[in-house]
Amino acid sequence: MHGRSIDGGDGVPVARPSEVTRPLETARLRGPDFHDIALLDDGEIDAVCLDGHYRLDRRLGAGGMGFVYAGRELDEERPVAVKILSEGKTAHYPTLSRFLREAQLGVRIHHRNVVEALDFGSTPEGLVYLVMELLQGEDLGVLIRRHEGLPWPRVRSLVLQICAGLSALHAIGVVHRDVKPTNCFRVLEDGHELVKLLDLGVATRPDQPGDDLDLDLDGGRTIVGTPQYMSPEQARGETVDERSDVYSTGIILCELLTGRVPFDGSAQAVLDAQIREEPPSLQRLAPAGMRIDPAVQRIYERALAKDPAQRFASIEELAAAIRAIPCEDPLEISGTYEPVVLPRPEERHPWRSLAAGLLRGFAVFCRVPARREPSYEPEERRPST
């Protein structure tokens, strides 16, 4: 698992473990009482600094789990996003533990295809926060809703970048467990699409004892993730490895290419389908007029194999199979491949898409009693985008 590298798209390297880890740092809040700040409407916030390094300027969004603020790193004038767990959630051990896990894992990863976590800490009042880079763009869920399937060259580039980000996580023994379009954020860099993975709140290190936060005191297990993108073993509440992320990435490939996921419907119905049903072919899901390359279908089938042993053994193997399909012979698709142009800042509020993604970053949890079939009961509804 360690020491491997792949490209996130052509020429986009994945750093080796020594390059993706860095020392952990903590911070303290200085400024007005944070209880008051959390209640302010969107707008300017005066004289709020985190450890003398970060200034909070305005609130971007709020949800059931907390708040996201836009700010700036004072030393370098770098824009930052600050995610704060709401006061009531700090007393809920599983939620607090997942927030801290996201922070602790985030500051260890430094990779262009993973959102950069800069710092985390707690306020004197006991609120915890996470400082991240501030991104301008949209998640892939927005892109999918705007199109009825994307051409293969574009899907290829986007999925390879997802693979690159996951490879950086897998290189340090971390499984994401909630890979889905809304956790893949799309920005422009030098005129090209760049994808960054969000939300490490439910990531796990299966090779480290005591890292599993999904077990209850009575022996039951909580399923974490999103049903439409769960592997069969994840849907059963079992311990997963990186091949579960391979499965989820295969579903994203399907959705980017066809505009549809293999299984949809109620949460329980989708969980059952992930476990028992074979996924429909890409051609069946594809829009009228789209021809699916048989090589792409074979990748999809292998990535979504029910048995993890029949899947690609690693995210690097999946990426290699995708790269082996030449872009010089793209899929036939109705319509044309438009250039990527994001709206100008004065036309919209591009930060709000990031805020929604960060606030949505607490995956759906569902209770699974010991030695019984999984049941799906979300603890609370997510904020809508």
Phi and psi at residue 288, to the nearest 5°: -60, 135
Structure tokens at 315: 């995210």
Structure tokens of 185? 């954020």
Q: Are 373 and 199 in contact (CB under 8 A)?
A: no
**Closest alpha carbon to 296 in 308, 307, 306, 283:** 283
- What DSSP designation does 278 have? P
Answer whether 127's CB lies under 8 Å from 31's CB.
no
Which tokens hold the place of 283? 């051609």
Phi/psi for 334 (5° steps) reads -65, 145
User: Angle at Cα 19 formed by Cα 17 and Cα 25, nearest 5°?
Assistant: 100
Q: What DSSP string runs through 176-241?
A: -S---GGGEEEEEETTEEEEEE---TT-B-TTSTT----B-TTS-EEEES-GGG--HHHHTT----
Contact at 8 Å (CB) between 150 and 256? yes
CA distances from 103 to 4, 89, 96 (A): 24, 16, 11
| Residue of 7, 178, 199, 245 with catalytic role | 178
Known catalytic membership, residue 293: no
Q: Chain centroid to CA 124: how far?
A: 30
Annotated catalytic residues are: 178
